[in-house]
Chain A
Amino acid sequence: MAKSKKQPESLSFGAISKTLTGISGLDEITLGGLPAGRPTLICGEAGSGKTLFSIEFIVKGALDYGEPGVFMAFEEKADELKTNVASLGFDLDQLERDKKIRIDYVHIDKSEIEETGEYDLEGLFIRLGYAIDSIGAKRVVLDTIENLFSGLTNEGILRAEIRRLFHFLKSKGVTAIITGERGEKSLTRQGLEEYVSDCVIVLDHRIINQISTRRLRIVKYRGSVHGTNEYPFLIDDEGISVLPVTSLELNKEVSSESVSSGVSALDKMLGNSGFYRGSSILVSGTAGTGKTSIAASFANATCLRGEKCLFFAFEESPKQIIRNMGSIGMNLQQHVDKGNLAFYASRPTLYGLEMHLVAIHKAIRKFKPDVVVLDPITNLITIGSVSEVKTMLVRLIDFLQVQQITVMFTALTLNTIISEQTDEGVSSLVDAWILIRDIENNGERNRGMYIMKSRGMKHSNQIREFVMTDKGLDLIDVFLTEDGVLTGSAREARLLLEQTGEIIHEQAVSRKDRELVRKRKVLESKIDSLRSEYESAEEELNKVYVEEALKKQLMGETISKITDLRRVDIGSKGKQKTKNTKK
Chain B
Amino acid sequence: MGKLYELRLYVAGKTAKSVVALDNLKKICEEHLKGQYSIEIIDLLQTPQLAEGDQILAIPTLVKKVPEPVRKIIGDLSNVEKVLVGLDIRPRVTC
User: Which A residues form the contact surface with B (CB < 8 A)?
Assistant: 104, 106-108, 112-124, 126-127, 129-130, 148, 151-152
Q: Which residues of B lie under 8 Å from residue A152 when comparing CB positions?
A: 57-58, 74
Q: Which residues of B lie under 8 Å from residue A119 when comparing CB positions?
A: 17, 58-61, 74-76
Is B22 on the interface with A (CB-CB < 8 A)? no
> Given A117-B77, A127-B52, are A112 and B70 also a contact pair (CB < 8 Å)?
yes
Let me know if B73 and A126 touch, CB within 8 A.
Answer: no
- The SS class assigned to the A binding surface is mixed
Let me know if A114 and B74 touch, CB within 8 A.
Answer: yes
User: Which B residues form the contact surface with A (CB < 8 A)?
Assistant: 10, 12, 17, 20-21, 44-45, 48-49, 51-52, 55-61, 69-79, 82-83, 85-86
Let me know if B55 and A107 touch, CB within 8 A.
Answer: yes
Query: How far is A106 from B51 in the complex, measured between Cα atoms in Å?
Result: 10
Closest to A118 in B: B76
* Residue in B51, B52, B58 whose CB lies within 8 Å of A120: B58
Let me know if A121 and B72 touch, CB within 8 A.
Answer: no
Let me know if A130 and B75 touch, CB within 8 A.
Answer: no
Query: How far is A494 from B83 in the complex, measured between Cα atoms in Å?
Result: 107
Known: A126-B44, A130-B51. 10 other contacts (CB 8 A): A112-B70, A114-B71, A116-B83, A117-B79, A118-B78, A119-B74, A119-B75, A120-B58, A126-B51, A127-B57
Let me know if B74 and A115 touch, CB within 8 A.
Answer: yes
Query: How far is A428 from B48 in the complex, measured between Cα atoms in Å?
Result: 66
Q: Which residues of A lie under 8 Å from residue B48 when comparing CB positions?
A: 126-127, 129-130
Query: How far is A578 from B74 in the complex, measured between Cα atoms in Å?
Result: 191
Q: Which residues of A lie under 8 Å from residue B69 when comparing CB positions?
A: 112
Let me know if B49 and A113 touch, CB within 8 A.
Answer: no
Q: Which residues of B lie under 8 Å from residue A151 when comparing CB positions?
A: 57
The smallest C-beta distance from A578 to any residue of chain B, in angstroms, reads: 177
Let me know if B75 and A115 touch, CB within 8 A.
Answer: yes
Query: How far is A197 from B60 in the complex, measured between Cα atoms in Å?
Result: 30
The smallest C-beta distance from A526 to any residue of chain B, in angstroms, reads: 134
Query: How far is A126 from B51 in the complex, measured between Cα atoms in Å?
Result: 8
Let me know if B44 and A113 touch, CB within 8 A.
Answer: no
Let me know if A116 and B52 touch, CB within 8 A.
Answer: no
Query: How far is A433 from B61 in the complex, measured between Cα atoms in Å?
Result: 74
Q: How many inter-chain residue pairs (CB < 8 Å) link A and B?
A: 99
Which 6 A-B pairs give the minimum distances between C-beta atoms? A114-B86, A117-B78, A130-B48, A122-B59, A123-B56, A117-B75
Q: Which residues of A lie under 8 Å from residue B45 when comparing CB positions?
A: 126
> Given A115-B75, A117-B78, are A126 and B55 also a contact pair (CB < 8 Å)?
no
Q: Which residues of B lie under 8 Å from residue A115 when comparing CB positions?
A: 73-75, 82
> Given A116-B76, A118-B75, A118-B76, are A123 and B86 also a contact pair (CB < 8 Å)?
no
The smallest C-beta distance from B24 to any residue of chain A, in angstroms, reads: 8
The smallest C-beta distance from B17 to any residue of chain A, in angstroms, reads: 5
Query: How far is A227 from B55 in the complex, measured between Cα atoms in Å?
Result: 40
Q: Which residues of B lie under 8 Å from residue A114 when comparing CB positions?
A: 71-74, 82-83, 85-86
In the assembled complex, 18 residue pairs joining A and B whose CB atoms fall closer than 8 Å, in A order, are A112-B70, A113-B74, A114-B86, A116-B83, A117-B21, A117-B75, A118-B75, A118-B76, A119-B75, A123-B51, A124-B56, A124-B57, A126-B45, A126-B56, A127-B48, A129-B48, A130-B48, A151-B57
Let me know if B73 and A123 touch, CB within 8 A.
Answer: no
Query: How far is A148 from B70 in the complex, measured between Cα atoms in Å?
Result: 19
Q: Which residues of A lie under 8 Å from residue B51 when comparing CB positions?
A: 123, 126-127, 130
Query: How far is A117 from B24 in the complex, measured between Cα atoms in Å?
Result: 11
Q: Which residues of B lie under 8 Å from residue A107 when comparing CB positions?
A: 55
Q: Which residues of A lie under 8 Å from residue B76 when comparing CB positions?
A: 116-119
Query: How far is A140 from B59 in the complex, measured between Cα atoms in Å?
Result: 22
Query: How far is A68 from B38 in the complex, measured between Cα atoms in Å?
Result: 40
Closest to A130 in B: B48
Q: Which residues of A lie under 8 Å from residue B17 when comparing CB positions?
A: 118-120
* Residue in B57, B70, B82 whose CB lies within 8 Å of A116: B82
Query: How far is A130 from B47 in the complex, measured between Cα atoms in Å?
Result: 9
Q: Which residues of A lie under 8 Å from residue B82 when comparing CB positions?
A: 114-116
Query: How far is A124 from B48 in the complex, measured between Cα atoms in Å?
Result: 10
Closest to B44 in A: A126
Q: Select the residue from A108, A115, A118, A123 with max chain B CB neighbours within 10 A.
A: A123
* Residue in B12, B77, B79 whose CB lies within 8 Å of A123: B12
Query: How far is A107 from B53 in the complex, measured between Cα atoms in Å?
Result: 10
Let me know if A123 and B78 touch, CB within 8 A.
Answer: no
Query: How far is A330 from B84 in the complex, measured between Cα atoms in Å?
Result: 85
Q: Which residues of B lie under 8 Å from residue A121 when comparing CB positions?
A: 57-59
Q: Which residues of A lie under 8 Å from residue B77 when comparing CB positions?
A: 116-117
The smallest C-beta distance from B63 to any residue of chain A, in angstroms, reads: 9
Query: How far is A126 from B42 in the complex, measured between Cα atoms in Å?
Result: 13
Query: How far is A277 from B50 in the complex, measured between Cα atoms in Å?
Result: 65
Closest to A134 in B: B49
Closest to A151 in B: B57
